[in-house]
Amino acid sequence: MPAANLLGTADRGFLHLMENLPQERLSIAIGAVAAIETVLAQTLEYVTSRTAFGKPVGSFQNSRFVLAELATEATIARTFVDECIRQLDAGTLTAVDAAKAKWWCSDLQNRTADRCLQLHGGYGYMNEYPVSKAWRDARVQSIYGGTNEIMKEIIGRSMGL
């Protein structure tokens, strides 16, 4: 390979990759929060228009409880990710906080998509409903950028464990 094609410093490719992992992991967390908010909004629209037993699905206590939990968790995730973005901009985002954001938000994306799919009932599996794609797409989030188990290892080690 010609020297002109070299990015970074020779023989330090892995180190260069490691330097950008916090930003990559934060970008995964940002995408997860966006997906969470989107599937939640779509589900809210669905449960207010879909009826069962002559009432909107969203009027049932279980539906309200599930949506209240998901909305609260989405707000918490958005707040933490916004703080991580501020830290990234300030040059203070740590690998540990990026790992926390990636793990928590991608895990929440999976749980949110799963619970929203449940609120759609059998329709949730049909490709015509966006929740079906959201549910399928959520699964990979806990794998790329480092698995969530690796994120927990990073966090655990930072605690002296």
Among residues 24, 37, 69, 73, the one annotated as catalytic is 24
Q: Which DSSP symbol is given to 55?
A: E
**Adjacent-strand bridge partners of 56:** 51
Distance in angstroms (rounded) separating the CA atoms of residues 152 and 9: 30
Q: Could you give the angle at the alpha carbon of 69 between the alpha carbons of 63 and 70, nearest 5°?
A: 90
The owner of tokens 């449940």 is 118
Distance in angstroms (rounded) separating the CA atoms of residues 143 and 5: 31
Q: Are 76 and 111 in contact (CB under 8 A)?
A: no
128 is catalytic: no
Q: Which residues are catalytic?
A: 24
